[in-house]
Amino acid sequence: MGTELTVVEEGEKILPQETIKELTERVQSIVARAQGLASVGSQEEADRAGLVVKDIGPVRRFVKKVCDPICEDLNRKHKAATSLRAFFDAPMATLEKRLNEMIGNFFMARERERKKQIALLQVDLDKEYKREVRVVAATVALQQGTQAAEEVKDEMGDAPPVVLEETKVEGVSLGTEWRAEIVDAVAFVKGLASGKVPMAMFDAEACGKRVDKEAIDLEGRIDYPGIRVWEAPKVRREGR
């Protein structure tokens, strides 16, 4: 410990300036007297060390007397605040989680139906568009020749993608995220041994978390033995 005692700002807010000053002076004085006492090898050094120890006692009792009531008061307030937070926040957290799960299930069901409808509509649109391309190309072929008709086909390209409005829910933002979990530990370990699973995924304490993070980072594009990958709903309240 150096001869200088740094007093943190939070301490200055709790204790009076006079008390801080008194403690600083007394501690600095004792520390200064102990300078050079790296070891005790003589009667003089032993006596010197003993007197310092003697004077440390009153300082520690003074610190205890001043700080203990504050610590006890703050501990009571901390416990009360923690209990109050749990009393009000816990049911809100539980309710939010349950509602988010229900909204997420609704969102995923709607998204599956939306993608199904997009696929069906896209098939019909592609057919209609191809007919339109053939008609236009045939007309151009009669007027300008086969080469011009082929150029028109290339310019028209494929049918535009079908777009249906995504599911929206008031008060929350909706999306998805990739998740993964180990469902067959034996297959997973064999995959590590054979090189089908990167050794970076091996972690005795957090293997599941590593695999889950890998699925998120690679947007589900992993195919490891013993691993289940799925797309999960991600629901967040607005203004969080």
Asked if 147 and 177 sit in the same domain, the reply is no
Ramachandran bin of 41, using left for φ above 0, alpha for ψ from -120 to 50, beta for the remaining angles: alpha
Asked if 73 and 13 sit in the same domain, the reply is yes
pLDDT at 206: 60
Range of the domain at 189: 172-237
- Residue 179 inside a domain? The answer is yes
- Residue 141 inside a domain? The answer is yes
- Residue 133 inside a domain? The answer is yes
What is the number of structural domains in the chain?
A: 3
Asked if 19 and 56 sit in the same domain, the reply is yes
Q: Which residue has the higher pLDDT, 36 or 100?
A: 100
Asked if 17 and 61 sit in the same domain, the reply is yes
- Residue 94 inside a domain? The answer is no
Asked if 70 and 13 sit in the same domain, the reply is yes
**Structure confidence by residue, pLDDT tens digits, 75-119:** 999 999 999 999 999 999 999 999 999 999 999 999 999 999 999
Final residue belonging to a domain, choices 93, 121, 156: 156
Asked if 144 and 176 sit in the same domain, the reply is no
**Structure confidence by residue, pLDDT tens digits, 114-144:** 999 999 999 999 999 999 999 999 998 889 9
Asked if 152 and 187 sit in the same domain, the reply is no
Stated pTM of the model: 0.63
- Residue 20 inside a domain? The answer is yes
- Residue 97 inside a domain? The answer is no
Q: Is the pLDDT of residue 1 over 70?
A: no
- Residue 116 inside a domain? The answer is yes
Asked if 182 and 148 sit in the same domain, the reply is no
Task: For the chain, give the number of residues.
Answer: 240
Determine how β-strand 172-182 pairs with β-strand 227-237.
antiparallel
Asked if 22 and 71 sit in the same domain, the reply is yes
- Residue 127 inside a domain? The answer is yes
Average per-residue pLDDT for the chain: 87
Q: Is the pLDDT of residue 5 over 50?
A: no
